[in-house]
Structures are given as C-alpha cells and as structure tokens.
Amino acid sequence: MIDITLLGSGGGMPMPNRHLSSMLISYQGRKILIDCGEGTQVAMRKLHTGFKSIDIICITHFHGDHIFGLPGLLSTMANSDRTEPITIIGPVGLKDMMEGLLVVIPYLPYDIHLIENPQGTLKLNDMYISTMKLQHSMPCLGYGFYVPRLPKFDLKRAIENKIPRKIWSKLQKGEAVSYEGKDYSPDLVLGEKRRGIKISYITDTRPIDEIVEFISESDLFVCEGTYGADEDLEKAIKNKHMTFKEAAELAYKGRVKELLLTHFSSSMDEPELCRINAENVFKNTIIGYDGYMKTLSYR
C-alpha cells in the first residue's frame, strides 16, 4: 500500500488556510517528498507525518512557492540527528539552486545526492520514478511513480517443476535461489503478471499532448488546478498553468482512475465552488486541500 498526504495545496503565495505546494508519498516505512513550499514543516507537524524517514525529494521547478520551505526542512532534519543521505531530483539548474540554498545551512550531518535533469527511469527503494519535461515559464518536470507487483504464485507450476517447498517463498518474492547444488529461478513458480500502482504528478504547465501518454492508466493523477473557472483560460495561457476543465480533459484522455486537483491560485478562496467545471469532463475528481490523505492499494 502507498499513502498519499497533500501537505500544501496552494500556488503563488501562502494563505491563512492553505500552505504552498507539497505532497508526501509514504511506502514501506520510507517517504518521498514532492516540492517543498512554505508551510511544509508546519503541515508535517499538524498531520504527524514525520520527516526523518524522507529519502527522496522531487522538485518540479524552482519558483519560490515550490522550494522556499526546503532550507528550513533540511536544517530541521539535521537538528533531528539525521545522518542518512538524501537524494534530491530536479530539472536543469538543480545544482546551482542547491548551492544558493545551502549558503544559509552550510553544515549538514548527512550527504545530499543531486540528480539533475534525469534521463530515463530511476529505480529507488523498490519504486520506479520517471520524469517528463513540462511547458512552464522555466524548466519544469512532471513525475511518475510506479510500484510493481509480483506475479501470482502458481502452485500447480511449482509442483510440476518439482520445486522444493522450502524455497517457494523466496522464489515468490522474485529471488533466484541455489538449493542443494541446483539453481532455481522465480519464473518456475510465478504465474500471470499483475498490475502495480501508478501515481502521476503534474503541476505548473500548460496541458501539452505528451502528458496524456505519461499519465496513462494512473491510479491517481495529481494535477494543478491553478484556475477553477473556464473564464480564466486567458490567465492560464498567459501564466502557463491550467484550468480545472483542462486538467480534467487530461484525466479523461489518460484513462486515469482518479484526478486530485491541487495548486490553487491565491485568488480562488473556495475551489469546491468550481468542482463542476472538472466533473462535467471527468467525474472521478477530488478537490484537494491541506491535509488530504489517501491510501492506494493494488487493484
């Protein structure tokens, strides 16, 4: 299972009832943080999510509403006796950005590994992380997270292949085993393939065609909804953002299971009032809010 916590659902500037962009993914006792706007630490305290087990921080881009909480979080982690390394992923310019932020926190008791402008798919902690370039006013990345699921254990196949019972569990976990002088591979006991869990995270961009394939068949599609009203389309185009309707159109075309809208403009006090603009296109739409939580399980 994977737990999702929306720490901050705002875009642009912080509001009294809304922290800036940030989301936490928890899996197998470890955590991935996506963006770190102002208020991220406060949200973590309120929601009791913890922060010491964050292994990976994915930065979409370097506008302040997505990164100004980062120096404080890294400092707090240092003061909490964190010694394990942290991996930070981001678009072109990540190294320069981190050099600037680290001026105010030059002494950290842990190493920071930077992955700038990643190519292909990364495998970190049993999770596959992919990225795509978005269309914003500066380099910006969308993120995809996929947790695979092992095929079913095929009892009939294991018996037919005369596999010793003592090694069934290891083979079922995908491990190759040497037992009593003979090598056994997982395919000798595994049956049909099963679908894993896919999460897509897209923010600060216009709705380009490439997004549809990237988010295809996602269990959860987290997407910016900077502007709720269709009448704000001109603003969305000018500022390279999306309306609720445009995000919903991507969800519909990508055949995702659920759409979670976030990154609301500070001019939109009540995003719920614009829900219909998304639901008219994609019924299974969730209007995000600070503290929204969801658990994703294998289908």
Catalytic residues: 65
Nearest to 204 by CA among 66, 67, 68, 96: 66
Whether residue 81 contacts residue 102, with contact meaning beta carbons closer than 8 Å, is answered with no
With a CB cutoff of 8 Å and minimum separation 6, the contacts of 31 are: 24, 25, 49, 50, 51, 53, 54, 55, 56
Residue linked to tokens 């929306």: 6
Residues in the chain: 299
- The two tokens of residue 262 are 């976030």
Centroid of chain to Cα 91? 15
Task: Work out whether the CA dihedral 224, 230, 231, 234 comes out positive or negative.
Answer: positive
Three-state DSSP string of 64-89? HHHHCCHHHHHHHHHHCCCCCCEEEE
Task: Kindly report the number of other CB atoms within 10 A of residue 293's CB atom.
Answer: 12
- The two tokens of residue 11 are 């875009």
Q: What distances in angstroms separate CA 36 from CA 27, 57, 198, 264, one per listed residue?
A: 19, 8, 22, 15
